[in-house]
Chain A
């Protein structure tokens, strides 16, 4: 079993839809959780960064962490074609040095 599980998709939604992206993990020591967006042939860019359980909102993006269920989510409201990319979840332990990544979910927002 992988430490971090993420559905690779592809996920196709119409413009304006609410998108839900999720990851589950097995290591209860993970404390910091990140979502990265990666466009084709580009390096990943940080979207959201949260510590421990709870919600964080930034514009159209909301990140949720449920440590009791070992489950994290990224919601995208009013999705746009420019949101079409691969979304990677990543996490790290409190004293850790290396991020553990999910496989990434490919999202396509269609007109």
Chain B
């Protein structure tokens, strides 16, 4: 089945620094990837849709200059949290859709990246 790899799984950084999170589709190509944020005991909140070769589409209320998304290839999307602050501490999860076969509407998720900003 489709596999999505996310790295790093956890990161601690100082306030004001930038952090990059990578999301890779390992055995399929993904023209579109999705970035979610999840607070403790809450559901997934879609932040943005990452489009290969073009600009990401951000959800309402998500700062595009704060959360930079780059989808440079068909298997890699990156999320950079710029000038991170403690309120950016959260669980970030990427996902992608393997459009081969009958499960084209199914999202496969990465394992998530827990960001803690001190």
Q: Do A and B come from one complex?
A: yes
**A interface residues, Cβ below 8 angstroms from B:** 8, 32, 34, 36, 41-46, 49, 88, 90, 92, 96-99, 101-104, 106
- Please tell me the size bucket of the interface on B: 20 to 34
B43 touches A97 (CB 8 A): no
A97 near B93 with CB under 8 A, answer: no
A103 surroundings in chain B (CB, below 8 A): 42-43
B interface majority secondary structure: strand
Q: Knowing A88-B43, A97-B49, A106-B41 are in contact, say whether A44-B109 is a contact too (CB < 8 A).
A: yes
Give residues in B with beta carbon < 8 Å to A: 4, 6, 32, 34, 41-44, 46, 49, 91, 93, 95, 103, 105-112, 114
B44 cross-chain contacts in A, Cβ below 8 A: 44, 88, 101
| Cα(A93)–Cα(B55), bound, Å | 24
> Chain B residues near A44 (CB, 8 Å)?
44, 93, 109
Q: List 22 A-B contacts (CB under 8 A).
A: A34-B105, A34-B106, A34-B107, A36-B109, A41-B112, A41-B114, A42-B111, A42-B112, A43-B4, A44-B44, A44-B93, A44-B109, A46-B108, A97-B49, A98-B46, A98-B49, A99-B107, A101-B43, A103-B42, A103-B43, A104-B42, A106-B41
